[in-house]
Chain A
Amino acid sequence: MRKDLETYLAELKAKGLSPEAEARFLAELATAEDGHDPVAVHLDRQASFYRYCDAVLLQRMAGIDYGVTRLMKSLDELLERDKQREADGFPRKIRMGRLVKPGRGSKGKVVVVPTTYEEKLIHDPAVNPESDAPPSGGTGEGKEGEVIGEQPVRDEGDEPGSGAGQGGGESHELESSAYELGKTLTEKFQLPNLKEKGAKRSFTHYTYELTDKNRGFGQVLDKKSTLREIVETNIALGNLPDVADIDPTRFLIAPHDKIYRVFSQEKDYEPQAMVFFLRDYSGSMAGKVTELIVSQHVMIYSWLLYQYAGQVESRFILHDTEAKEVPDFYTYYNLRVAGGTQVASAYAMVNGIVEKEKLARDYNIYVFHGTDGDDWDSGGEKTLPELKRMLAYVSRMGITIAEHGQVASTEVSRYLKGSGLLQEKPKLLRLDIMQEDADEARIIEGIKTLIS
């Protein structure tokens, strides 16, 4: 792989490349062989000993995690309560948008659950003059000063080569203050340009129709079915000697034979959508920018799951110089950054998938792409044609560029703006550029720009 990149870089150089850009590409190249392994799961060895308890240790009572479904049930009520809180003059307390352990291979495990803090006046063990991490106990061999084990640093610092977010397991949390996320996500956002294409069952909306049948009682008598029942009964009773000559006045009618139609809950049909998430996981994406992009995608993804449960399908594509589709959000979220950058590869892959699976006919297609704006294809010669092809079928394409502080204008933003596509198709193509130190409110603002 490195070989390919080197030849590619040589080609670029031959075409003429600024020394600054070359240095950047070389830096990325250096990471090319690191690979995109998932980031190791963080183990909390410093957990308080008060967490040991009989039920877990002695009886191995499993699953005493909070039941997600149960929490979901009370969501509406809780939000209602939170609204009331604000009306009563107290700050809101429910936070949402937290991810519950996106398990490998099962997309649906990412859900929005309500969480909260119970604030109290308590000591903060993390702030002490001794060291950052409060000491713990230990047992076994080892002289004083001897190192007995190591653990990769996870969330501390923006070290190069780290994966996005905060790893798996317990610390795999992304939360935002409820009122912002909850409100904006559930009330303000709607997938734009949603058209009736290949309607699919909705799980959230119902209509009520007189479709179900019921014997004996109900709203409206179903004459045809009733008659059929009566005939059957009479045949069985031997009350209908000649089928050619039926005299309805002689029918014996049991109450049981009357078939009624009753009101029933019917699932409504709604247009379906396919969302592509594209993430640049090249070497230059190390640190904060990846965190931003992933945070934004997590929010979009959680919101989609929450709002359009079951109707929206998601696909995940990562790219450096080559694009790769990954099966679930977990992998998408956790793969490590390395390698060079070619945005076109990802776009080409989306186009390929859409064409091959003929998705454009049945689905509203949305593409969200997150990058730091770095592209070895600095003029967009490869990217723009792919993008144009894409714009022919997508309902919305949202590109997020998380800029590194020092870069004045990134390649991607330059060629996008240069192409005039943004002005040409403002309904289809949206671009949001944020700085790498953007906070959560800014990310949400960004989502609004992308999908409003």
Chain B
Amino acid sequence: MELINQHTKRIMEGCKERARAAGLSFTDESLEYIVTNRDLIELGPKVMIPTLYDFWVHDVEVLHEKGKYELYPHNPYETVINTRPPISFYNDNNPDWLNVMIFYHVLAHIDFFQNNLFFRHTWDYDFTGEALSDKRLIARLRTEKGHWVDYVIEFARSIDNLVDFHGELARIYTPPNASCSRRLDYYFDTFLQSEKKVPVSEYIKEVERYNDCLKNFGDMGEKTFFHDTEKRYPEFDSHFARWQENRREKSRDLLRYLLEHSPALQKDANSWMKPLLEIVRKTSIFFQPQIRTKIMNEGWASYWHETLFLMDDRIKGHEVDFARVHAGVTSMPRVGINPYAIGLRLFNYIEEQADKGRRSYQFQRLADATARKEFDAESGSGKAYIFRVREDYCDYMFLKDFLDQDFVDLHRLFVAGKRLDQQRMVWQYFVKSRRSVDYRDMMLNALYHPPVITPDTEKGLDGSLYLVHRFEGKQLIQEYIANTLMGIEFLWGGPVYLETSVAQKESGNRQPGSAEDTGQRDIRWQRVVYCMNEKVLSRKNL
């Protein structure tokens, strides 16, 4: 890896000026490296972070035909990484005009990293720097503990998708004094609503009573309020105590939970394992926003490389070359989803809509098709609007909010189904639906979504760990359960249970693949508990 030459760097700096003038914002410094294929082979498994810790799996080709992307934070071969300063990687033989295009693409990515609020937790430090110190720590531990270090890393990595990214964000975005006391939260949010199921009128009365207490007694308000409450609900305190006990255990962050509560890790002899778990967890959390904004991020970058390239005076004469590459990147495949293409078109669509003032209540309540088509409030606020979208949204919200029927019609999108023609033994691809609802569901379904798995302390008895998988219509990949639970057992130091749902195919003996596309398959979901004890997996129905 070596830095780009002065000539190319000057081009980059020129791109920065123009991008800033267009409204993008990013830090001044950036590093650009030339990489060879050899470098890429090294960097790929380390998700392009040159300083990431060494791990033997990086030397092996990892098979992931199942759950392709869920296993990895994101596709390994990105061009730019979200560090301070941002680092980007280039072929050494790119012509200047192509570099101009890629630079704009990269700058838009950097702008996205540094402004989208889902990346907030990555703003205050340089990941490569931390990764380097982690790498050294791991290397040192290896000399002390030998290959056991690698087992701990492996087992920690096997649950690194079970980190509570959104919880992490919530912590950042909740102002320190915005919330009221736990007791109050519990009383109004849970106790009155779920346990006592009081009618709305009484609920409002309680709120008023609380406000009165605050008004009359000031700092003593809450205390007075609960003093009166206890008269009415003498059992409140014990309920609250129990809730508080459990609440902490409802953690969605299994890695964190293990760090705090695992009997094995609390032992002095095992304390060296903790930093390893921390490192794996931190790495996972670092990459979370990237995979959750793939479509937006690529759409945003494509939008800006198109806009800025065409405005750039330095590349006159390469419009056709540009068009060819650009089309290759952002063309819509006949079947399949291209995140660059969808993202770019959505940003264009949103901008146009906002320009015409269609992101308004007034437009949304219009039912008349012609009136909708001709509606133009000439608000001209398109640019500002998409800048706000890039700041506040993630892929899920982006698709959910903007992918509407007009957009689906405009680009003639459809949901493609695949069915078997048994006579001719071919897969047929067919237009399954042109409704935006279906298209959106299909897209949302394809988004990264790790399972929600939480520990249940009431069921985890005698030093065992009881995990509950919240069923969302998909079972877990069965083949992976054994080894993953074995890892958790190692980190926990006792038996591990996993409550989940598995598909029971109803009898009828239909060949796989022969199911008609429209006909629902007969699947019955069975709740089961897996138990991993002494490295032996067993399963029983609930």
- On A, residues with C-beta under 8 Å from B are 45-64, 66-67, 70-71, 74, 78, 81, 84, 88-91, 94-95, 98, 113-153, 156-157, 159, 162, 173, 175
- On B, residues with C-beta under 8 Å from A are 35, 37-38, 40-41, 44, 56-57, 59-64, 66-71, 74-80, 89-91, 94, 98, 101-102, 105, 109, 147-148, 150-151, 157-162, 291, 294-295, 298, 301, 325, 328-329, 332-340, 342, 411-421, 424-434, 439, 442-443, 445-446, 448-451, 453, 469, 472-484, 486, 498, 503, 511-513, 515, 517, 520-521, 523, 535
Tell me whether B161 and A121 are in contact (CB under 8 A).
Answer: yes
Tell me whether A61 and B40 are in contact (CB under 8 A).
Answer: yes
| CB nearest neighbor in B for A161 | B425
The winner among A52, A138, A143 for most chain B CB atoms within 10 A is A138
Given that A64-B37, A146-B431, A153-B420 are contacting pairs, would A59 and B477 also be in contact in the complex, using a CB cutoff of 8 Å?
no
Report the bound CA distance from A246 to B143 in whole Å: 65
Tell me whether B337 and A137 are in contact (CB under 8 A).
Answer: yes
Question: Which of A50, A61, A120, A149 is B75 in contact with, Cβ under 8 Å?
Answer: A50
Q: List 23 A-B contacts (CB under 8 A).
A: A49-B446, A56-B77, A64-B44, A70-B41, A71-B59, A116-B60, A117-B480, A119-B484, A120-B161, A121-B159, A121-B450, A124-B478, A128-B474, A132-B515, A137-B335, A138-B334, A138-B335, A138-B429, A140-B412, A142-B430, A144-B434, A148-B430, A153-B420
Question: Which of A50, A140, A143 is B294 in contact with, Cβ under 8 Å?
Answer: A50
Tell me whether A123 and B474 are in contact (CB under 8 A).
Answer: yes
Given that A53-B75, A66-B41, A120-B159 are contacting pairs, would A131 and B426 also be in contact in the complex, using a CB cutoff of 8 Å?
no
Tell me whether B158 and A119 are in contact (CB under 8 A).
Answer: yes
Closest 4 CB pairs of A and B: A54-B79, A138-B416, A50-B69, A119-B480
Smallest CB separation, A290 vs chain B (Å): 16
- In the bound complex, residues from chain B placing their C-beta under 8 Å from that of A140 are 332, 334, 412
- In the bound complex, residues from chain A placing their C-beta under 8 Å from that of B91 are 59-61
Given that A116-B62, A122-B71 are contacting pairs, would A156 and B475 also be in contact in the complex, using a CB cutoff of 8 Å?
no
Tell me whether A118 and B325 are in contact (CB under 8 A).
Answer: no
Tell me whether A118 and B71 are in contact (CB under 8 A).
Answer: yes
Tell me whether B335 and A57 are in contact (CB under 8 A).
Answer: no
| CB nearest neighbor in A for B325 | A58
| CB nearest neighbor in B for A123 | B474
- In the bound complex, residues from chain A placing their C-beta under 8 Å from that of B67 are 120, 122-125
Report the bound CA distance from A130 to B441 in whole Å: 13
- In the bound complex, residues from chain B placing their C-beta under 8 Å from that of A50 are 68-69, 74-75, 291, 294, 339, 448
Given that A51-B68, A64-B44, A117-B480 are contacting pairs, would A156 and B512 also be in contact in the complex, using a CB cutoff of 8 Å?
yes
Contacts A95-B63, A148-B431 known; 5 new A-B pairs at CB < 8 A: A49-B295, A58-B105, A119-B484, A120-B484, A135-B442
- In the bound complex, residues from chain B placing their C-beta under 8 Å from that of A67 are 38, 41
Question: Which of A45, A74, A131 is B521 in contact with, Cβ under 8 Å?
Answer: A131
Report the bound CA distance from A126 to B413 in whole Å: 23
Tell me whether B334 and A149 are in contact (CB under 8 A).
Answer: yes
Tell me whether A127 and B64 are in contact (CB under 8 A).
Answer: no
Given that A61-B37, A74-B59, A124-B476 are contacting pairs, would A139 and B517 also be in contact in the complex, using a CB cutoff of 8 Å?
no
Tell me whether A136 and B336 are in contact (CB under 8 A).
Answer: yes
Report the bound CA distance from A229 to B418 in whole Å: 80
Tell me whether A45 and B453 are in contact (CB under 8 A).
Answer: no
- In the bound complex, residues from chain A placing their C-beta under 8 Å from that of B64 are 117-118
Report the bound CA distance from A59 to B332 in whole Å: 19
Given that A49-B446, A54-B105 are contacting pairs, would A120 and B475 also be in contact in the complex, using a CB cutoff of 8 Å?
no
Given that A90-B151, A121-B451 are contacting pairs, would A45 and B90 also be in contact in the complex, using a CB cutoff of 8 Å?
no
- In the bound complex, residues from chain A placing their C-beta under 8 Å from that of B451 are 121-123
| CB nearest neighbor in A for B469 | A121
Report the bound CA distance from A78 to B60 in whole Å: 9
Report the bound CA distance from A89 to B102 in whole Å: 49
Report the bound CA distance from A138 to B512 in whole Å: 24
- In the bound complex, residues from chain A placing their C-beta under 8 Å from that of B479 are 119
Smallest CB separation, B436 vs chain A (Å): 12
Question: Which of A45, A52, A173 is B340 in contact with, Cβ under 8 Å?
Answer: A52
Given that A132-B515, A147-B429 are contacting pairs, would A138 and B484 also be in contact in the complex, using a CB cutoff of 8 Å?
no
Report the bound CA distance from A125 to B65 in whole Å: 12
Report the bound CA distance from A336 to B159 in whole Å: 44
Report the bound CA distance from A61 to B490 in whole Å: 41
| CB nearest neighbor in B for A82 | B56
Given that A74-B59, A123-B451 are contacting pairs, would A133 and B66 also be in contact in the complex, using a CB cutoff of 8 Å?
no
- In the bound complex, residues from chain B placing their C-beta under 8 Å from that of A147 are 428-430
- In the bound complex, residues from chain B placing their C-beta under 8 Å from that of A132 are 512-513, 515, 521
Tell me whether B417 and A135 are in contact (CB under 8 A).
Answer: yes
- In the bound complex, residues from chain A placing their C-beta under 8 Å from that of B37 are 61-64
The winner among B101, B328, B432, B469 for most chain A CB atoms within 10 A is B432
Smallest CB separation, B49 vs chain A (Å): 14
Tell me whether B421 and A150 are in contact (CB under 8 A).
Answer: yes
Report the bound CA distance from A148 to B57 in whole Å: 41
Tell me whether B62 and A45 are in contact (CB under 8 A).
Answer: no
Report the bound CA distance from A159 to B160 in whole Å: 41
Smallest CB separation, B299 vs chain A (Å): 11
Tell me whether B329 and A58 are in contact (CB under 8 A).
Answer: yes
Tell me whether A57 and B340 are in contact (CB under 8 A).
Answer: yes
| CB nearest neighbor in B for A51 | B75
Tell me whether A136 and B416 are in contact (CB under 8 A).
Answer: yes
Given that A55-B89, A71-B61, A132-B515 are contacting pairs, would A138 and B336 also be in contact in the complex, using a CB cutoff of 8 Å?
yes
- In the bound complex, residues from chain B placing their C-beta under 8 Å from that of A48 are 68-69, 446
Question: Which of A90, A120, A173 is B70 in contact with, Cβ under 8 Å?
Answer: A120
- In the bound complex, residues from chain A placing their C-beta under 8 Å from that of B515 are 131-132
- In the bound complex, residues from chain B placing their C-beta under 8 Å from that of A57 are 328-329, 340
- In the bound complex, residues from chain A placing their C-beta under 8 Å from that of B89 are 55
Tell me whether B430 and A135 are in contact (CB under 8 A).
Answer: no
- In the bound complex, residues from chain B placing their C-beta under 8 Å from that of A173 are 63
- In the bound complex, residues from chain A placing their C-beta under 8 Å from that of B79 are 53-55, 58-59
Given that A49-B339, A91-B483, A143-B431 are contacting pairs, would A122 and B68 also be in contact in the complex, using a CB cutoff of 8 Å?
no
Tell me whether B338 and A47 are in contact (CB under 8 A).
Answer: no
Report the bound CA distance from A142 to B433 in whole Å: 10
Smallest CB separation, B416 vs chain A (Å): 4
- In the bound complex, residues from chain B placing their C-beta under 8 Å from that of A156 are 420, 512-513
Tell me whether B419 and A131 are in contact (CB under 8 A).
Answer: yes
Report the bound CA distance from A123 to B71 in whole Å: 10
Report the bound CA distance from A254 to B480 in whole Å: 71
Report the bound CA distance from A114 to B295 in whole Å: 33
Given that A61-B91, A115-B62, A156-B513 are contacting pairs, would A120 and B336 also be in contact in the complex, using a CB cutoff of 8 Å?
no
Smallest CB separation, A415 vs chain B (Å): 35
- In the bound complex, residues from chain B placing their C-beta under 8 Å from that of A116 are 57, 60-63
- In the bound complex, residues from chain A placing their C-beta under 8 Å from that of B513 are 132, 153, 156-157
- In the bound complex, residues from chain B placing their C-beta under 8 Å from that of A133 are 417-419, 427
Tell me whether A122 and B70 are in contact (CB under 8 A).
Answer: yes
Report the bound CA distance from A59 to B68 in whole Å: 23
Tell me whether B475 and A124 are in contact (CB under 8 A).
Answer: yes
Report the bound CA distance from A143 to B411 in whole Å: 14
Smallest CB separation, A289 vs chain B (Å): 18
- In the bound complex, residues from chain B placing their C-beta under 8 Å from that of A118 are 57, 62, 64, 71, 157-158
Question: Which of B157, B158, B476, B517 is A131 in contact with, Cβ under 8 Å?
Answer: B517
| CB nearest neighbor in B for A116 | B60
Report the bound CA distance from A444 to B134 in whole Å: 43
| CB nearest neighbor in B for A171 | B65
- In the bound complex, residues from chain B placing their C-beta under 8 Å from that of A153 are 420, 425-427, 513
Smallest CB separation, A169 vs chain B (Å): 13
Report the bound CA distance from A54 to B411 in whole Å: 23
Report the bound CA distance from A156 to B514 in whole Å: 10
- In the bound complex, residues from chain B placing their C-beta under 8 Å from that of A146 are 430-431
- In the bound complex, residues from chain A placing their C-beta under 8 Å from that of B449 are 123
- In the bound complex, residues from chain B placing their C-beta under 8 Å from that of A89 are 535
Question: Which of B160, B328, B428, B523 is A149 in contact with, Cβ under 8 Å?
Answer: B428
- In the bound complex, residues from chain B placing their C-beta under 8 Å from that of A51 are 68-69, 75
- In the bound complex, residues from chain B placing their C-beta under 8 Å from that of A91 are 483, 486
